[in-house]
Amino acid sequence: MKANGAIVMHRPRDEDDSDDDGVDTSPEMEYMSLVHQENIRLKQQLMVERDRFESWRQAKQIVEYELLQTNKEKQALERKLKLLSKGDTKRRSLLSTNQLYYEHKIQILLNEIESMEVEESKLFEKLNFKRNECEELRYKLDLKEQEIKQLAYELHLAKQSLQ
């Protein structure tokens, strides 16, 4: 092993390992095999951890979205309740047509606001869906990059063992 951490492989001499089966069982090859097995184990563990994180992240996004929707619904209900309580007392005291006209306009505006909030929630849901798709594609791309790196490393090991 060099000072910079690089593993230096030496070609085995004929007298080093002259078994009848032709398999090189030198300590360096055993070490390489153990390193390779450990890399495979770590890769599998990394994939399991990534899957756990991804499922946790998706569950978190769902809970955050549901919380946001619940808060919006609560605010809308509070607004309606406030308007109804004000409307009841005002209707009793003033039954003028002008007052009813403005209340009707306010109700129309509230309905428009409510429809805009529904549209906003649909767009937010669509945005979250697209964001999840994007994250999933990034995750798959990262996995493919890791596989390419692992295959390149294994190819490098195979070339070194053939030398």
Confidence of residue 76 (pLDDT cuts 50, 70, 90): confident
pLDDT at 41: 92
Q: How many CA atoms lie within 13 A of 109 on its CB side?
A: 8
Q: pLDDT of 30-55, one tens digit each?
A: 989 899 999 999 999 988 998 999 89
The pTM of the full predicted model, rounded to 2 decimals, is 0.38
Distance CA 150, CA 141 (A): 14
Among the listed residues 158, 145, 161, 159, the one whose alpha carbon sits nearest the alpha carbon of residue 43: 145
- pLDDT at res. 163: 76
What is the distance, to the nearest Å, from the Cα of residue 75 to the centroid of all Cα atoms in its chain? 30
